[in-house]
Chains A and B, each alone.
Chain A
Amino acid sequence: MDKTVASLAEAVAGIGDGASVMIGGFGGAGAPIELIHALIDRFLATGSPKKLTVINNNAGNGHVGLAALIEQGMAHKLTCSFPRSADPRVFTEKYLAGDIELDLVPQGTLAERIRAGGAGIPAFYTPTAYGTQLADGKPVEEFDGRPYVRERWLKADFALVKAECADPFGNLTYRMAARNFNPLMCMAAAVAIAQARRIVPAGGIDPEHVATPGIFVQRVVEVPDPRQEEALNRAGAHHP
């Protein structure tokens, strides 16, 4: 078995118009900048993919990564918890102009919906958002005298994630707080695509240290020196 692909372009192949795409990361930590840029490069060359539904905790920062994807008009809907950042202008302008739909989800509910999607649990009850406008229209049930809101699973056609180390079986490790949504999104996507700083031979990751077992991952591509959103923004970078 070898899930390794040779190039970023090959890694993001098959992501077509209208696809739903989970993108890992919390702010810049764990954001797969190179995979996102590969998708943007294909769009600029071919006009596809467009009309994407993107699921991420945030809405991009500056003019790189997710912000650059939104800036190109590739996404028609964003599911996220916190569409603000140091420089949120790209999303803010599209949103206020009505060019992108926002589905706002509390952060822990977003994480659990994704986990549930990957775990085959179609719905669950949570105390989060009970009695608030983000629970409007959702079923409520009492358990042991307390009210809970029913939330549905969240799945996607693809996930783009950033790992520290991968092996040909798709086993992944992460670096520090760059883990965040990445393991959950690998579980919840039909095709999970990981960029990793290093790809090691099978056996090169101690099984005790595997954070995402390879069964949840379909493609891995090596990006030896990944860029970090904060560093790019401090340098005033744009993509393209």
Chain B
Amino acid sequence: MTERLSNAQIAWRAAQDIADGAYVNLGIGFPEMVAQFQPAGRQAIFHTENGILGFGEAPAPGEEDWDLINAGKKAVTLKAGAAFFHHADSFAMVRGGHLDVAILGAYEVAETGDLANWSTGPKGVPAVGGAMDLVHGAKRVAVLTDHVTKDGRPKLVKRCSLPLTGVGCVTRVYTSLAVIDIVCRRFVLREKLPALPVDRLQAMTGAELALDGPVGDLTAPDL
């Protein structure tokens, strides 16, 4: 029995909610895995904020073109129908409500929809990139995350303790244990691992889990 979903399985679950023809921005790192799990028969168009719509997978080693990179500065390829544009147009796509979904990582998500995912505090060199832009404007802002930190503390909380990326911006959270919507400043449980009792899930969550309608089984294939 699965005790928790792997990162690949969380990404797979998020991919099931992406409609055919959706315009999607995937955050750097873990969320990039979502692109591998598009359901058969659906094609999303991936946006990278440095100026490409319609990029594809990484090229073979040695085939990189360093003018063709994603926001993580990794080499990518183009799909038929791709487009290039400058940064002001790229962020117009982001803030202007043109993206269907942005999928991001998180340090903390609050029941209010606040997200902290850019800074762990004042140490070192601060860097924000496009994180604060990407949380605004997409029709859905989804987060992929482990349900708890490596040392077992909840990542879904009442109020974020780390510096905020955005206020009231997250609409759905896919975790290693559950799928949770944020509705009217509350966490609403939509799916959970079948063998996990609600009270145990609640104990690993830093704010109240509201039940509003049926709770589905969160399942994913072995990946």
Contacts and interface: CB of A to CB of B under 8 A. Distances in A.
A37 interface: no
A138 to B, nearest CB: 13
Interface residues of B, number: 39
> Interface residue tally of chain A, by bracket?
35 or more
Given A29-B50, A132-B163, A107 B128 contact: yes
A183 interface: yes
B164 A132 contact: yes
A108 B87 CA distance: 7
B86 A27 contact: no
Contacts of B124: 92, 96
Interface string A173-204: 01111111111100000000000000000000
Contact of B66 (A28, A57, A112, A132): A28
A235 interface: no
Interface string B141-154: 00000000000000
A26 B68 CA distance: 11
B126 A181 contact: no
B125 A102 contact: yes
A128 interface: yes
Candidate in B50, B132, B133 with the most chain A CB atoms within 10 angstroms: B132
Nearest to B75: A230
Interface in B48-88: 48-52, 64-69, 73, 84-88
A4 to B, nearest CB: 23
Interface of B: 48-52, 64-69, 73, 84-88, 90-91, 94-95, 114, 124-133, 136-137, 163-167
